[in-house]
Amino acid sequence: MIHVAGEGLVVITGCGHPSMEKLIERAETLYAEQVVGVIGGLHYEKLSTDQVQPHIQFLASRQPRLVALSPHDSSPEALAAFQTSFTDAYHAIYVGETIQFP
């Protein structure tokens, strides 16, 4: 968890098995701040575009400023759906690349 002063929380996860929703809700409960970014793996590897829509809608309700999902454990369809939904906030993850909060 990173607290970006004046902005909110950025959740960083290696393997998001609990689900994005549970991770975000827990973070917001613990820190009494809104999540404004998600980085890492969320295990959308077997989900279609339609199947990730509820997750996208949940995240969209927070109006994230940074969305960077791992291609390691998410299908190309899921990644494309997040990129399409969060055009300005989406950042592809590549080994060795720096990710900066907008």
* Confidence check: pLDDT of 73 > 90: no
Average predicted confidence (pLDDT) for the chain: 94
Q: So what's the pLDDT on residue 50?
A: 94
Residue 78 burial class via C-beta count within 10 angstroms: exposed 0-12, middle 13-18, buried 19 and up? buried
At CA 8, angle to CA 88 and CA 5, rounded to 5?
A: 110
What is the percent of the chain where pLDDT is above 70?
100
**pLDDT range class, residue 18, cuts 50, 70, 90:** confident
Place of tokens 């390691």: 72
Q: So what's the pLDDT on residue 14?
A: 85
**pLDDT range class, residue 91, cuts 50, 70, 90:** very high
* Confidence check: pLDDT of 34 > 90: yes
